Chains A and B, each alone.
Chain A
Amino acid sequence: MKLVVNGVEHTLDVDGETPLLWVIRDRLRLTGTKYGCGEALCGACTVHLDGHAVRSCVTPVARAEGRRVTTIEGLSPDGTHPLQLAWERHGVPQCGYCQAGQLMNAAALLDEVGAPTEEQVDRAMAGNLCRCGTYLRIRAAILDAGKGR
């Protein structure tokens, strides 16, 4: 199967039912995307499929064939996506484990609605858990990054 991840084409011999998460992590060694629950309950594994946020832990890799997959490593070439800058400005991460998923989910939201309202942020981000409790800073950082749009 052919898989395009962050603009790079990979040819893989893999069972199509394998979750995209494990292909990204175990085969492509792109480890920024995290395992948290395996059931689309926490959002730590969020990546983009043709620009839309999906939970890669429940997305069979076959469904990603022929589509653009973007992971945190591909969000920006040098870590300067407006959200990444806002995350640093607001001192968002604590342990950091969930933050790649938070960022990918937020990036899809900004692409979709431009400058989201607080309610839109809450609704869009409700599926991304953060046990350290960085929600208020995430919310502020997204609103901040959205302002420029």
Chain B
Amino acid sequence: MTTRRAFLLGLAASGLLAVATPSGAWAAPADFVPHAWIRVSADGTVALTCHRSEMGQGVRSSLPALLAYELGADPARIEVVQADGDPAYGDQDTDGSRSVRTQQDLMRRLGAVGRIVLERVGARRLGVPVAAVTSRDHAVWHEPSGRGVPFGDLATEAAAEPLPDRVTLRADPPASGWDLPLVDAHAQVTGAARYVADIVLEGQCTAVIVRPPVLGSSVVSFDDTEARAVPGVVDVIELPAPSGPPGFQPLGGVAVVAEDTWTAKRAAERLRVTWSQSPHDGASWTQDLAAMREAVARPGTARRTRGDAEGALGSAAKRLDATYVVPHLAHAALEPPCAVARRTEDGCEVWASTQTPQAARSMVAEVLGLDEAKVTVHVPFLGAAFGRKSKPDFAVEAALLADRVRRPVRVQWLREDAMRQGYVHACSVQRLEAGLDGDGRLVAWRHRIASPTIASTFGDAHELRDSELGQGIGDQPLEVPALSVETHPVQERLRIGWMRSVYNINHAFAIQSFLDELAHARDTTLPDLLKEVYGPPRRYTPEEAGAEIWNYGASLDEHPIDVGRYHRVIDRVRALSRWDEPAPEGRARGFAVHRSFLTYVAVVVELSRGTRGGPRLERAWVVADPGRIVNRDRVRAQLEGAVVFGATVALHGRLTLEDGRVREGNFHDYRLLRMNEAPRSIDVELITEGEPHGGVGEPGVPPVAPAIANAWFALTGERVRELPLT
């Protein structure tokens, strides 16, 4: 008999998987709990654990559905338990559009462990050989006789059984996924769903923090006389300034802790803080943009070279040259960052809207000098995240304050805090040059990029890393004999972080816009040109690229860059949108394609002129090839949402800097797309032909902004080279 722990250690190919126990009364003695993901109770309840953060992508439906499939549980009748942050669950970082991709095999194996034991016990109970039974719908069945035993009746006996040494998986689930119940929809529409700000503990108070307005400055002194005079203020506490690069550290500042949110907010407005000088004090977006434009006029650091691009551009029959700008962008999730912490006798309990509960736990343990085992991090629903909540700085703030005031504290970021002091999406200035020969063939391509790196948040780095260029540049299958990709160092002014789709947004905008310019110059259309410049269906390899291909950390054997799949999404969206027929009177269409997070997405957008003369989205068509999928309707929902998110990038998104401070503060000056601006229809077609799982949450976004910009050109003749468009 293998011990459970040893068995699970053997099960996880990646190594560490102990038997974690979710918080609370996870198991009664009569429950069958083979490991931390499954609990079958004697009363028939089947509880399955979701160890990834739910932020709207539907992970609480998809991962448990895979467990349920192998276990033989009915996904409509399971209870989903949200895991706390604990390394025992393996990797819990909910980012990179990879929860299903990297966890699906583990979920199936864990589900199969439960099934094998229940079938063994069930067969015994039914008096038939184990090979003659099968589990489905929360029971073990002997199909020939039509007899079955509910899981609940087997739980106690199963609990005493040894676990299997090896598991056999069921046939693969359908490549096109399932239609799964939305496990939390009812709670969400009745107001019962609990987000962090909805956690209420006995004696809890609320903190609003005034943080340094300029990166790199810190508190010199403060006057809290007026703030403390506001009735209901509990304390005013200075938070330590971060040391070294920002990383996941809180920014420091001065916290007002009060009995309620409104009091904390009003008192915080009455604080007078003197801030130290910062090297970024005088910084402005206008100057930084001019510097980046000036940089891309010059040669940069060679990052990828094929042939002699300079020479080929010089001798080209025709030359195109255009520079594209994407500003800094904000995540702007409707739920601002929020965390609740309670200091206990010897530990700390935290509730955080975090995508990285284990990092939150480690950091809280570190700042409070506690053993990690004494820190618990609970993960309620996230009111969306988009990468902002991968950084647990706000959880650390709550823990520090709870430690100081010795009462539970909720740290509530205000909208203005979230807008001005987050981890922004990197701005980007990109110059693209192309040379065509006498027959119009692409013979030279030069791409110069000035854009701050996310690595600047973690150390002394100012130039894009290979993994950042790998997001839409290094992995683009361009068939061109002479190519040069060059980067320039950029002085970052803000904490740069991941935002949904990350650098793909910038790179897809520039490349797909530029290729559209090329198509017009060639008197062809973008889908035809794309198939020409990407070349015939084949695997685009590092040998052909002449460089390593990052590929989101996935193997190129399992997830090759398959030019045929580019062709397929291009062809299908062309058919779906009736691209080759003229658009209705007063409207025009734009096209774009992009592969990111191992998924291929082509988009067509149809625009008209709105009442104020600006762009009005009429329709959008999306064809995505994500390989196998699990949760069909949520995949569609993610792609629909990506059109709206991408439209905000195209039409509204822009953070600007003045005197080193972010100027925008709320939704009046950082606009998000509204319902009356959303397209009338978004038609989504999925290609799911059995290739391995790609990403879903992010890959829909990058092609949207260039498709809109290209449609605007088709409608008006005005080329959009700087976002946002309006």
Contact = CB atoms under 8 A, between A and B. Distances in A.
Interface string A105-139: 00000000000001001110111111111111111
A interface bracket (residues with beta carbon within 8 Å of B) = 35 or more
Interface in A80-124: 84, 87-88, 91-100, 103, 118, 121-123
Contacts of A19: 262
Interface in B666-701: 666-668, 672-676, 678-682
A93 B182 contact: yes
Contacts of A139: 675, 678
A149 to B, nearest CB: 19
B668 A31 contact: no
Contact of A22 (B57, B260, B637): B260
Interface in A54-101: 71-73, 75, 79, 84, 87-88, 91-100
A84 B642 contact: no
B667 A132 contact: no
B331 to A, nearest CB: 8
Interface string B635-654: 00110111111000000000
A62 B414 CA distance: 23
Nearest to B200: A29
A100 B334 CA distance: 12
A73 B187 CA distance: 11
A91 B637 contact: yes
Given A38-B414, A131-B334, A136 B640 contact: yes
A137 B674 contact: no
Given A37-B667, A73-B191, A95 B673 contact: no
A48 interface: no
A126 B676 contact: yes
Given A41-B667, A137-B637, A91 B182 contact: yes
B334 A34 contact: yes
B198 interface: yes
Contact of A95 (B381, B640, B642, B678): B381
Contact of B384 (A22, A128, A131): A131
B193 interface: yes
A94 B335 CA distance: 13
Contacts of A41: 666-668
- The dominant DSSP class at the A interface is loop
B262 A31 contact: no
A91 B633 contact: yes
Contacts of A121: 675
Looking at A42, A95, A129, the one whose CB has the most chain B CB atoms below 10 A away is A95
A32 B190 contact: yes
B674 to A, nearest CB: 5
B197 interface: yes
Contact of A84 (B189, B673, B682): B189
B501 interface: no
Interface in B23-74: 54-58
B195 interface: yes
B62 to A, nearest CB: 13
B189 A103 contact: yes
Contacts of A95: 54-56, 333-335, 381-385
Contacts of B265: 38
A140 B640 CA distance: 13
Contacts of A122: 675-676
B194 interface: yes
Contacts of B262: 18-19, 22, 26
B415 A37 contact: yes
A50 interface: no
Interface in B137-189: 182, 184-189
Contact of A135 (B182, B184, B187, B675): B675
Contacts of B334: 34, 36, 42, 44, 95, 97-98, 129-131
A133 B675 contact: no
Contacts of A39: 415, 666-668
A103 B189 CA distance: 8
A25 interface: yes
Interface of B: 54-58, 182, 184-195, 197-198, 200, 206, 260-262, 265, 332-336, 381-386, 412, 414-415, 633-634, 637-638, 640-645, 666-668, 672-676, 678-682
Given A72-B190, A135-B674, 5 more contacts: A38-B414, A42-B334, A75-B190, A84-B189, A99-B189
Interface of A: 18-19, 22, 25-27, 29-39, 41-42, 44, 71-73, 75, 79, 84, 87-88, 91-100, 103, 118, 121-123, 125-139
12 contacts: A22-B260, A26-B206, A36-B334, A73-B190, A91-B633, A91-B637, A92-B189, A118-B680, A125-B675, A131-B333, A135-B678, A136-B682
The 7 closest A-B pairs by CB, nearest first: A32-B191, A133-B644, A97-B383, A95-B56, A94-B56, A96-B188, A133-B641
